[in-house]
Amino acid sequence: MSKAGYYGKLFIGGDWHEATGGKRRDVINPANGKVIGTVAAGTTADIDRAAQAARTAFDSGVWSGLPGRERSRVLLKVSQLIRERADELAEAESADVGKPIMFAKNIDVPTAADQFEYFAAQAQLLDGSVRNAPLPVHAYTRREPVGVVAAVTPFNFPLILSSSKFAPGLAAGNTFVHKPASETSLSALILADIVTAAGVPRGVFNVVTGSGSALGDHLVTHPLIDKIAFTGSVEVGSHVAEIAGKVLKPVTAELGGNGPNILFADADIDKAVGTVISAFVFNTGQFCMAGPRLLVERPLYETVLDILGKAVGGVPLGDPSNPGTVIGPLVSKDQLDKVSGMVEAARAAGARIVAGGRKLDIDGGYFYAPTVIADINDRAPCVREEVFGPVLTVQPFDSEEEAIARANGTRYGLAAGVQTTDIARAHRVAARLEAGIVWVNGWAMLDPSIPFGGVRNSGWGRESGEEALLSYTRSKSVVIALG
């Protein structure tokens, strides 16, 4: 991986800086446990500097005051540079997260570029409307940027989940302070270099790396910051919403998920099982919109278990830098221990381990075998809570009503799936699933034009689509007397 000169520094006000106090933390490659570099350990003083730079840039109008068409041209350049630096970004993402290089190159980088390209077009369409009030007035609305946005992003999709905030937020004219996950900050630093090269003005985009526990509350409650865009766990998201609410600051939050995938007996079984596997092993299961809960109509239950038990062991697992690898390591030893502990609890409670169920000793990395668990009840932690690893629970059902009730039976509501060849059933079940996005006969079919986000404990607000753009604006009404 390239040793970029700005690794280990913060990006504030258009320049690279050491953290206040000069401290850094090691970056660990989860595939082998080795140190691959350092990032700055930012402090609250660095948050202050970044917030002031973003506020000064916003108030100056150097970005917010540009016509949408001019912002559009810059965002198109960002998209172009992401594609030109695809290898560098993919290598950093793979080494930092443990993400298979195949996915980093073919999914993460193109998705980030697509986000900027899509919202470059949307920047030109942002507009208000005239209102026909029964008064002697001319009334209209304006869509204006919110101001300074604090973007807090997680470890699993650093590039995609940051771009899904920056692209609409910048398109609307906002400025940013970005606090990436402490474990996976490298692509955020590359992106800072890219947006600067594309022509985003100084101070509009700022990156402060460091510990979330040390910086989070200060960032969320900072008086110079106007909005919080957060992706992360339910517990941290709840805390962010609580402290932001005390200072009446708007928050959009995409939180955890525990997606149910319902496989009906009329499904194309070969296609459905392939979808099931990809839904729970993609990104080593570290995917909020994964499908770790499979509900199978009873006539197919043992058949599907047999197919899964034979198939998942053949999914290529190992060194994420190998182009053929599909499953890489988990992001850290702590995450590996959490996943292992949840599976062992299921085993101890009498669940049947159909496949996997063990840590793997590969080059000192944090690997866990793709795991299929059967004969498990609805109260088991592996069913009720987000495992965030390559673990699939499989449960039978006897009726459509039962499948829907069990699918909706957790506190989450981020993503869900329906596998069926009955088009009427597909529409009927999709309408009743409590999730922000429902996929039919597939999984993770995403595009910058398609919004996604959570309901219930999976959060509120939407990423992607027109909905995301509007969430980075506020509406102002102008009413002019005509007499």
Reported as a single tens digit per residue, the pLDDT across 114-146 is 999 999 999 999 999 999 999 999 999 999 999
Strand segments (E) across 53-187: 130-131, 137-145, 148-152, 175-179
230 and 342 part of one domain: no
> Is 423 found in the same domain as 408?
yes
Indicate whether 6 pLDDT > 90.
no
- pLDDT at 7 (0 to 100): 79
Residue 368 above 50 pLDDT?
yes
Q: Within a domain: residue 4? A: no
Beta-strand ranges (E) seen in 90-129 are none
pLDDT above 70: residue 312: yes
Interatomic CA distance for residues 437 and 71, integer angstroms: 30
Read off the pLDDT band of 5 (50, 70, 90).
Answer: low
Q: Is residue 310, in this structure, part of any structural domain at all? A: yes
Rounded CA separation 231/121 (Å): 25
Spot the catalytic one: 93, 99, 288, 297.
Answer: 288
Query: Which position among 99, 105, 165, 227 bears the catalytic label?
Result: 165
Q: What is the pLDDT of residues 75-86, one digit of tens each?
A: 999 999 999 999
Do the domain assignments include residue 5?
no
Residue whose tokens read 């599976």: 343
Judgement on whether residues 108 and 177 belong to the same structural domain of the protein: yes
Same domain as 430, residue 301: yes
Tell me, yes or no, if 382 is annotated catalytic: no
CATH number where 159 lies: 3.40.605.10
Element (H, E) at 307: helix 301-311
Same structural domain for residues 199 and 294?
A: no
**297, 386, 434, 463: the active-site residue:** 463
Report if residue 417 sits inside a domain.
yes
Q: Which domain holds residue 390?
A: 260-448
Residue indicated by tokens 């890489």: 328
Sheet containing 205-207: give its strands across: 15-17, 10-12, 205-207, 175-179, 148-152, 227-231, 251-254, 459-460
Is a pLDDT exceeding 60 seen at residue 2?
no
In DSSP terms, 477 is beta-bridged to 141
Mean pLDDT for 179-195 is 96
Q: Looking at the structure, do residues 368 and 432 belong to the same domain, yes or no?
A: yes
CB contact set of 332 (below 8 Å; sequence gap of 6+): 28, 30, 183, 366
> Could you tell me if 236 and 285 lie in one domain?
no
Same domain flag for 317 and 172: no
Name, in order, each residue with C-beta under 8 angstroms of 82's C-beta and a sequence gap of 6 or more.
Answer: 89, 109, 112, 113, 116, 191, 194
Mean pLDDT rounded to a whole number for the chain = 96
Catalytic residue among 88, 93, 117, 254: 254
**Residue 1 maps to a domain:** no
pLDDT tens for 392-433 read 999 999 999 999 999 999 999 999 999 999 999 999 999 999
Nearest to 72 by CA among 13, 110, 122, 137: 122
CATH code for position 328:
3.40.309.10
Do 22 and 154 lie in one domain? The reply is yes
- Asked if 290 and 243 sit in the same domain, the reply is no
Query: Is residue 288 annotated as a catalytic residue, yes or no?
Result: yes
**pLDDT on residue 1:** 42
Q: Residue 202: CA atoms inside 13 Å, Cβ hemisphere, count?
A: 4
260-285 average pLDDT score: 97
> For the chain, how many structural domains are there in total?
2
Which band of pLDDT confidence, cut at 50, 70 and 90, is reported for residue 3? Answer: low
Spatial distance between the Cα atoms of 373 and 205, rounded to a whole number of angstroms: 45
Q: State the pLDDT confidence band at 28, using cuts at 50, 70 and 90.
A: very high
The reply to whether 168 falls in a domain is: yes
Give mean pLDDT, residues 241-262.
Answer: 96
Residue 58's contacts (CB-CB under 8 Å, 6 or more residues apart) are 64, 145, 147, 148, 174, 175, 204
Please report whether residue 308 resides in a domain.
yes
Co-location of 23 and 90 in the same domain: yes
Same domain, 223 and 337: no
User: Is 469 among the domain residues?
Assistant: yes
Task: Say yes or no to pLDDT of 179 above 90.
Answer: yes
Cα–Cα dist 4/39, whole Å: 11
**Residue 307 amino acid letter:** I
Q: Which pLDDT score, from 0 to 100, does residue 4 have?
A: 60
